[in-house]
């Protein structure tokens, strides 16, 4: 082969290789939001129940700063399309509490104390996707109700281990919901379909922060987890 032909062949091979490298370099970067939602889809299939310690803070900044703190245990159970939630608080600030909330069969019940009357909200089913937020919800469940923005990742302790969580900001697609809930941020463990932290921004002056730890996943729950009776 003549030198000129060899040079032309080498140039052609170099051009092909360069095009291949450029093509690979130009491939789109992975979408972290899509990856998190896909991992939630997988984890949700294996989610049946969980319990966790919870701290529930309500913060008001106007007209003066005020912080209300509740501590207790939450319970979640999901079987097919059936979803139940129970929240039992035993501390209000540093004082004993028997406040409790349950969500069963689309009905939300609330009681401030054992002696207080029970408030019942029979039409709470439309809020189910917000009640189950981050506990057994799949990526498809979230995407159906929320506009989602990926905000990055952050390591958080779950009471036993440091977990790398992914932070999602959620804005409700329903305008009626946005009137009462401006946005939600969740720090989610997408491999277990669990939230370790949630911040509900109701408006410019009011937010609610939920911190979860000491999870027990897919273990037997107390018989009265989804009643307003105190957990014994």
At residue 230 the predicted structure's pLDDT band, cuts being 50, 70 and 90, is confident
As for how many domains the chain has, the answer is: 2
Beta bridge partners of 113: none
Whole-angstrom distance, CA of residue 167 vs CA of residue 36: 10
Residue 89 and residue 161 share a domain: yes
The whole-number average pLDDT for the span 34-54 is: 94
The verdict on residue 209 lying in a domain is: yes
What is the extent of the structural domain holding 18? 1-30
- What per-residue confidence (pLDDT) applies to 133? 79
State pTM to two decimals: 0.84
Please tell me the distance from the alpha carbon of residue 128 to that of residue 83, in angstroms, as a whole number: 8
Residue 81 and residue 179 share a domain: yes
Contacts of 53 (CB under 8 A, 6+ apart): 71, 72, 73, 159, 212, 213, 214
Of 53, 24, 3, 5, the C-alpha closest to 216 is 53
In a domain, 222, yes or no: no
H-helix or E-strand spanning residue 4 = helix 3-25
Banded model confidence at residue 26, pLDDT cuts 50, 70, 90: low
Residue 224 inside a domain? The answer is no
Whether residue 232 is predicted with pLDDT greater than 60 in this model: the reply is yes
CATH number of 206's domain: 2.50.20.10
* Residues 129 and 137: beta-carbon distance below 8 Å: yes
More confident residue, 224 or 19: 224
Identify whether residues 18 and 99 lie together within a single domain: no
User: What's 70's DSSP letter?
Assistant: E
- Strand pairing category for 82-92 and 100-104: antiparallel
Residues 13 and 36 in one domain: no
Q: Is position 225 within any domain?
A: no
Query: CA–CA separation, 157 vs 196, rounded Å?
Result: 8
d(CA 152, CA 216): 26
List pLDDT tens digits, range 114-147.
Answer: 888 999 988 777 677 666 777 888 999 899 989 9
Higher pLDDT, 125 or 168: 168
């Amino acid at each position: 082969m003549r030198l000129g032909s060899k040079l032309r062949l080498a140039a052609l091979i170099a051009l092909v290789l360069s095009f291949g490298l450029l093509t690979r370099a130009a491939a789109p970067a992975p979408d972290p939001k899509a990856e998190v939602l896909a991992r939630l889809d997988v984890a949700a299939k294996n989610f049946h129940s969980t319990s966790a310690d919870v701290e529930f803070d309500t913060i008001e900044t106007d007209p003066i700063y005020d912080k209300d703190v509740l501590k207790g245990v939450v319970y979640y159970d999901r079987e097919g399309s059936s979803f139940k939630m129970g929240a039992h608080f035993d501390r209000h600030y540093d004082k004993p509490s028997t406040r409790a909330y349950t969500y069963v069969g689309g009905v939300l019940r609330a009681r401030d104390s054992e002696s207080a009357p029970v408030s019942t909200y029979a039409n709470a089913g439309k809020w189910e996707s917000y009640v189950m937020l981050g506990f057994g919800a799949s990526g498809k469940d979230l995407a159906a109700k929320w506009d989602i923005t990926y905000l990055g990742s952050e390591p958080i302790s779950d009471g036993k281990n440091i977990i790398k969580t992914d932070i999602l900001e959620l804005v409700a697609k329903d305008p009626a919901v946005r009137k009462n809930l401006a946005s939600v941020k969740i720090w989610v463990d997408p491999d277990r379909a669990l939230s370790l932290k949630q911040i509900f921004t109701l408006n410019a002056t009011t937010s609610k922060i939920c911190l979860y730890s000491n999870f027990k996943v897919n273990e037997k729950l107390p018989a009265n987890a989804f009643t307003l009776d105190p957990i014994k």
